[in-house]
Structure 1
Amino acid sequence: MLPRASSIRTGPFLFPRGSTAPGRWGTLSIMNSLETLLAAGQLAQAKTEAEKLLAKNPAHRDALVVMTKLSLVEGKLPQAEALLAKAEAQGATPETGLVRANIAAQKGQLAAALNAYQAVLALDPNRAEAHFGRGMMLIKQDKAPQALEALTHAVKLQPQQDVFRYRLGQVQLEAGKTEEGLATLREVITRQPRFVPAYLSLSHALSSQEKLVDARRVLEQGLKAVPNQPRLLASVTVLSMALRDLRTSYQAASALAASRPKDADAQANLAQLMLARGQIEQARHLCQTMASLGVSSESLKMAEATCFESQEPPAYDKAIAAYEQGMGISPDGWRAANNLGQLLLRIPAEPANTHLPRAVTVLEEATRRAPERPEPLLNLALAQARLGQEKKAKELVQKVLAMPLAEDTDIYQEATRLSQTLAKA
């Protein structure tokens, strides 16, 4: 699925300005100097220089604009608005207009932001940042044709600004211009080989077309340019698993875990792949190491539980305890509860139904946490059927079959078989 317009975000504009005629807007050299520091990421120095100017002249408009931008970067919206008001009191300029638009956008006031960008363009029709911001606001309002026009114009005005080009590629994909969008993202990668978001967006777009091999090649290309980049590694892991390439998934997961030694998700992902490869002891050691470091998650506890159940003989009591801990770590998570319910259904016991009441209780909790998921519902239906509660079981399995499930999926077929069995009961 391609990213929706609402997922495309804009932040404070710290891009370098486009070319402007000498002397325009007054203290151009000072403004350019401050903006250059911002564009280079030298925020502390930009702040120091702006504060020096304000110490001499508290109404220095250019310094106030820069301080406003820095406040936005720091997430201090009220402070930014107060600073901008002081700058605007001396008259509107394209600089104050861009910041005003950015503040409105951050507050979710799309119409106000769009109006502010258009006001900037009335003052300076060739201001690339204003065309860019206007395009981003238009796509958020589902006005794809106008957004594409604005973003295309921004790229023409500032072809060196690859952020503009990247967003244009995203919006082209959003608007259904798939080939154009793919070409634009590839161009960004060619121009900026270390631009990680472009690799991710291009790979995602190819995946949505079921071109999983091509999508993975893009990520591997990114990892050559930016070795061990966590987001690229995570995406390679997922794609390789989808391609049933356990070896590549394991390599990517290992690299990600090594680069993030205390990241619970990265370590849990590696543990699950170890289990898939039959490396039970390695997975158990990894889980216990993370626990000793105070790193834990629902997924890590689930992997630990699987290790205990895989022992010979199975350590069911420890597996149950691990699942319970996973449920406690993630109060809204349903997977540990669902897996615990499944475990209770398959533990050998005498009499046979010893664990069934508890399985029902746990699976009811799983369905409470995730009523939209078919897995706990189907497991709960199975537990109720084994308890002899055929009516409840039939109601639950019908809920599963009413969900939008593809008929060739395992869960749909299992639900169908259970429904047929209950119908004969």
Structure 2
Amino acid sequence: MNSLETLLAQGQVAQAKAEAEKLLAKNPNHRDALVVMAKLALVENKVPQAEALLAKAEAQGATGETGLVRANIAAQKGQLDAALKAYQGVLALEPNRPEAHFGKGMMLIKQDKAPQALEALSQAAKLAPQNPVFRYRLGQVQLEAGKTDAGLATLREVLTLAPRFVPAYLSLSHALSSQEKLVEARKVLEQGLKAVPNQPRLLASVTVLSMALRDLRTSYQAASTLAAQRPKDADAQANLAQLMLARGQIEQARHLCQTMASLGVASESLKMAEATCFEALEPPAYDKAITAYEQGMGLAPDGWRAANNLGQLLLRVPAEPANANLPRAVTVLEEAVRRAPDRPEPLLNLALAQARLGQEAKAKELVQKVLAMPLAEDTDLHEEAVRLSQALSKA
């Protein structure tokens, strides 16, 4: 590795660029300097500039370095076959080049060739055992290929090798969560927060997992820290507002939503939290809750939750006559289903609305769609669908 490449490997990008520019000022055809400048152009997404610099370097003969840059250019342009060929060309020159094995593996996985990709990534990790990125990608592909135990072990190796490597904590936690090992998954995230205190992505994941474990205290602590770090992040603030509601802190949640609105920060989730606050007032401010849900629907044209919740609200709002809100509820819930046809919640709510309207045939069709979905039988949703189906069969 020449001195310029060493600077890049050490993360001294500015110095590497300055040294390359000095060399090119003396010799415009300095190959090592041209290669480094091409790499830097690629980092800045200046592909044509990178290609021009590389062409001048390649005119003096192909090397492993020029081959890697050629492969990276092809990959950045989405030319997977060309990139794979370039990586194979590098390996023909330098069979033990770990970057080439790694690049080859990444191209193969994008072509759905998992066995070959695993072999290439394993070789990269073997040749560069101290490189956490190589080992991390290997672990990811092992998990994707169904080699769960090997993938988990590899990701744990990454954390031993690089304790501050945040993506590995997230991937390991996600993999454990998918196996229903939620407590172990949260411990991984907590380990990450000890290594990288207050890391936003880790905090967000701890919040979600703690909620799944019904640990509101830990969820609230993590959400509060994240919201303080990101005072104008709609998702972080909405998450905190929802946890306040779960803790019964209605006024605090309403104040938070109003503060965000005054700052021009809005999202579907924030509007949903605001709507819940209005409905929790005594007496409930149904009109304001309905308006908040409508605003939430407008903020997320593809989102289904605000529409679904508005439909539910319209079904329970007292009205004279009793079914006055039903037609509107049906319209809103049909929109929720249109936005998310594979979600069981709006389908079931629409079935309930149709049943209350006396449209038993439509309700039966909808509830059968819900029961055909892969729902766990011990969930409230499945039980409610069964009850509705049984009631409709007797109608």
Match of 2:225 among 225, 231, 255: 255
CA distance in 2 between partners of 1:339 and 1:152 (Å) = 48
Does residue 395 of structure 2 align to residue 420 of structure 1? Answer: no
Q: What is residue 79 of structure 1 aligned with on the other side?
A: 49
Deviation at 1:163, TM superposition (A): 1.4
Q: What is residue 381 of structure 1 aligned with on the other side?
A: 351
Deviation at 1:90, TM superposition (A): 2.3
CA distance in 2 between partners of 1:320 and 1:50 (Å) = 62
Deviation at 1:154, TM superposition (A): 1.9
Q: What is residue 193 of structure 2 aligned with on the other side?
A: 223
Match of 2:316 among 346, 349, 361: 346
Q: What is residue 331 of structure 1 aligned with on the other side?
A: 301
Report Cα offsets for 1:40-66 as digits up to 9, x if no partner. Answer: 333333333333333333333222222
Match of 1:274 among 241, 244, 250: 244
Deviation at 1:263, TM superposition (A): 1.0
CA distance in 2 between partners of 1:289 and 1:163 (Å) = 41
CA distance in 1 between partners of 2:371 and 2:47 (Å) = 49
Does residue 113 of structure 2 align to residue 148 of structure 1? Answer: no
Q: What is residue 254 of structure 2 aligned with on the other side?
A: 284
CA distance in 1 between partners of 2:19 and 2:264 (Å) = 44
Which amino acid in structure 1 is aligned with residue 299 of structure 2? I
Does residue 4 of structure 2 align to residue 34 of structure 1? Answer: yes
Which amino acid in structure 2 is aligned with residue 231 of structure 1? R
Of the structure 1 ranges 36-45 and 58-67, higher mean CA displacement relative to structure 2 is found in 36-45
Match of 2:65 among 95, 98, 103: 95
Which amino acid in structure 1 is aligned with residue 126 of structure 2? K
> Which blocks of at least 5 consecutive residues in structure 2 are unaligned?
none
Q: What is residue 117 of structure 1 aligned with on the other side?
A: 87
CA distance in 2 between partners of 1:188 and 1:241 (Å) = 27
Q: Tell me the TM-score normalised to structure 1 length.
A: 0.88
> Which blocks of at least 5 consecutive residues in structure 1 are unaligned?
1-16, 18-31
Q: What is residue 176 of structure 2 aligned with on the other side?
A: 206
Of the structure 1 ranges 49-58 and 210-219, higher mean CA displacement relative to structure 2 is found in 49-58
Report Cα offsets for 1:214-242 as digits up to 9, x if no partner. Answer: 11111101101100001111111111112
Deviation at 1:95, TM superposition (A): 0.6
Report Cα offsets for 1:101-121 as digits up to 9, x if no partner. Answer: 122222333222221111101
CA distance in 1 between partners of 2:348 and 2:145 (Å) = 39
Deviation at 1:378, TM superposition (A): 1.5
CA distance in 1 between partners of 2:286 and 2:127 (Å) = 66
Does residue 284 of structure 2 align to residue 294 of structure 1? Answer: no
Does residue 284 of structure 2 align to residue 314 of structure 1? Answer: yes
CA distance in 1 between partners of 2:288 and 2:7 (Å) = 57
Deviation at 1:86, TM superposition (A): 2.7
CA distance in 1 between partners of 2:365 and 2:79 (Å) = 46
| Distance 1:172-1:85 versus aligned 2 partners, 3 A rule | same
Q: Secondary structure at the match of 2:301?
A: coil
Deviation at 1:125, TM superposition (A): 1.4
Match of 2:100 among 124, 130, 139: 130
Does residue 160 of structure 2 align to residue 190 of structure 1? Answer: yes
| Percent identity over paired residues | 88
Q: Secondary structure at the match of 2:180?
A: coil
Q: What is residue 21 of structure 2 aligned with on the other side?
A: 51
Which amino acid in structure 1 is aligned with residue 379 of structure 2? T
Deviation at 1:178, TM superposition (A): 2.7
Does residue 364 of structure 2 align to residue 394 of structure 1? Answer: yes
CA distance in 1 between partners of 2:86 and 2:310 (Å) = 55
Q: What is residue 148 of structure 2 aligned with on the other side?
A: 178
Deviation at 1:327, TM superposition (A): 0.9
Match of 1:360 among 307, 314, 330: 330
CA distance in 1 between partners of 2:145 and 2:61 (Å) = 38
Of the structure 1 ranges 323-332 and 62-71, higher mean CA displacement relative to structure 2 is found in 62-71
Report Cα offsets for 1:302-332 as digits up to 9, x if no partner. Answer: 0000000001110111111111111111111
Of the structure 1 ranges 352-361 and 69-78, higher mean CA displacement relative to structure 2 is found in 69-78
| Distance 1:326-1:68 versus aligned 2 partners, 3 A rule | same
CA distance in 2 between partners of 1:301 and 1:375 (Å) = 19
User: How many positions carry a matched residue from both structures?
Assistant: 395
CA distance in 1 between partners of 2:331 and 2:269 (Å) = 21
Q: Secondary structure at the match of 1:53?
A: helix
Q: Secondary structure at the match of 2:332?
A: helix
| Distance 1:172-1:286 versus aligned 2 partners, 3 A rule | same
Give runs of ≥4 in structure 1 deviating > 6 Å: none
CA distance in 1 between partners of 2:231 and 2:239 (Å) = 12
CA distance in 2 between partners of 1:39 and 1:301 (Å) = 47
Q: Secondary structure at the match of 2:287?
A: helix
Which amino acid in structure 2 is aligned with residue 262 of structure 1? K
Q: Secondary structure at the match of 1:231?
A: helix
Deviation at 1:161, TM superposition (A): 1.6
Deviation at 1:412, TM superposition (A): 2.3
Q: Secondary structure at the match of 1:388?
A: coil
CA distance in 1 between partners of 2:343 and 2:175 (Å) = 26
CA distance in 2 between partners of 1:72 and 1:253 (Å) = 37
Match of 2:134 among 164, 173, 178: 164
Deviation at 1:248, TM superposition (A): 1.1
Deviation at 1:345, TM superposition (A): 0.7
Which amino acid in structure 2 is aligned with residue 47 of structure 1? K
- Higher RCO (CA 8 Å, separation ≥ 6 residues): 1
